[in-house]
Amino acid sequence: MSETIKNQDNTLLKRAYIFLEDKSWGNAKEYFERTLDADPENAQAYMGLLLVSMRASNIEELLETKKVSKWSGEEILFYEEDYFKKALKYADDEYIKEIENLKVESIYRSAVENMEKSFYDTAILGFNSIIQYKDSNNLKCECIYKRAIAFSKGSTVGKLKKAIDDLEHVLDYKDASEIRDRLLDKIEQIKKRRKMRIIVSTIVLVVLSLLFVCWANLRIMQNKMREKIIMENFHQKVFKGTSYVIDENFDFVDTHNKSFVDRYMWCDKHTFDFKEFEFKEKTVELSHEHSEFALYKNGWISTLDEWNTQKRYLYSIKVSFWAGKVILTFNNNNYVVEVDEKDEPIRFVQGDYNYTRNDIVETVGN
């Protein structure tokens, strides 16, 4: 209790502070209110009500007490309460200094606590607001110094620059100047390493690009050679497939009634002879002056003469590679080709169309 209160001849106020020391909050509040009924501008009574609201029995407890708002969850600062403001408003000059000193002391202790918890930003703000009180200025420098040390442990240029900026505010404090110089050198080294990484990365990228171009060109050359080999391997080969039966009017029969017949294609000089006719004879042996023909079994043309009088359809073929597959192109259609280890074509496929190599060249069926 302050000397002002001890010396004041006020029975109600004295009894209120006695109740306060006993932590009898209800009785203390009642007597502080009765004091204000008699003297509405009694600063000591307002301070007593502040102590009651903060559940502090004396000034020291007030400074140590932490009260949290149940609504916001934030700490309640006693010097922002209405009771404190009214006590400050009605206090005399001597008591005003005592009350104001409570606020400054509270800010100081809170700043020290934040510094100990490494909450340097908040601590610096606190010390800066009471810079002339006790050793606040020195503690502020300590916070800035420690914050700079924390930043200096970072590995990025941004963190190091923040550390340097802090140290430049306290160059005369401890070894701040020496640390600042070391950090400047560290930033230069980081910049040099970064520049070197960019140069090395660029060189590696260029080399890899050149290697890729060389590899791609080599692959293209290899594919071209394989295309040529596979094209050559198609020469003098017969491929057997399947075709729908065609009726006498050359219209496809109903889907449910149609059947299939064998179909043969002969490749010579990079062309397919692709005739849309079939032979009724079970065994057909044909020859042609250019040896380019397609053979069909069980079809509509009954004689070799009739075959020879029909116009043949010759389609140029082309072999290429696409997405790792061998592609055969003719008659504007693309077929996937299966080849053996010697690049000999085994079959080529497009959807339901499947043509498999047949070792019979001149005779179809027996």
CATH code where residue 54 lies: 1.25.40
Q: Is residue 49 part of a domain?
A: yes
Q: What is the pLDDT of residue 316?
A: 66
Which tens digit of pLDDT belongs to each residue from 45-78? 999 999 999 999 999 999 988 887 777 778 888 9
13 in a structural domain: yes
Number of domains within the chain: 2
Question: Same domain for 359 and 261?
Answer: yes
From the list 54, 53, 42, the residue with the least C-alpha distance to 95 is: 42
Residues 239 and 351 grouped into a single domain: yes
pTM above 0.85, yes or no: no
Output DSSP code: residue 170. Answer: S
- The answer to whether the CB of 241 falls within 8 A of the CB of 265 is yes
Same domain, 121 and 244: no
Residue 108 within any structural domain of the chain: yes
> Domain boundary residue among 105, 120, 153?
153
Q: Which helix (H) or strand (E) holds 249?
A: none
Beta bridge mates, 278 = none
Whether 21 and 148 share a structural domain = yes
User: Which DSSP symbol is given to 264?
Assistant: E
Collapse the DSSP code of 119 into the 3-class scheme (helix H, G, I; strand E, B; otherwise coil) and give the result: coil
Do 139 and 251 share a structural domain?
no
- Which of 132, 153, 174 is where one domain is finished? 153
- Confidence tier at 233 by pLDDT (50, 70, 90): confident
- Judge whether residue 312 has pLDDT over 70: no
**Positive or negative CA dihedral for 252, 258, 261, 266?**
positive
Q: What is the DSSP string of 313-344?
A: -EEE-EEEEETTEEEEEETTEEEEEEE-TT--
57-71, 172-186, 243-257, 300-314, range with greatest mean pLDDT: 172-186
CA gap 359, 366 in Å, rounded? 14
Return the higher-pLDDT residue of 90 and 260: 90
Of 340, 335, 363, the closest CA to residue 350 belongs to 335
Question: What is the residue-averaged pLDDT of the chain?
Answer: 78
Beta bridge partners of 285: 363
Instruction: Return the DSSP state at 290.
Output: T
> Do residues 304 and 277 make contact, with C-beta atoms less than 8 angstroms apart?
no
Q: Which residues pair with 337 in a beta bridge?
A: 326, 348
Which position has the token pair 């029909």? Answer: 310
What are the DSSP E strand ranges found in the chain?
67-68, 75-76, 237-244, 260-268, 271-273, 284-285, 294-296, 314-316, 318-322, 325-330, 333-339, 345-350, 353-358, 363-364
Domain holding 58, by residue range, is 3-153
Taking only the tens place, the pLDDT of each residue in 26-41 is 999 999 999 999 999 9
Do residues 129 and 263 both lie within one domain? no
On whether both 239 and 148 belong to a single domain, the answer is: no
* Whether residue 130 sits in one domain with residue 8: yes
Where does residue 287 fall: left (phi above 0), alpha (psi -120 to 50 degrees), or beta otherwise? beta
The answer to whether residue 171 sits within a structural domain is no
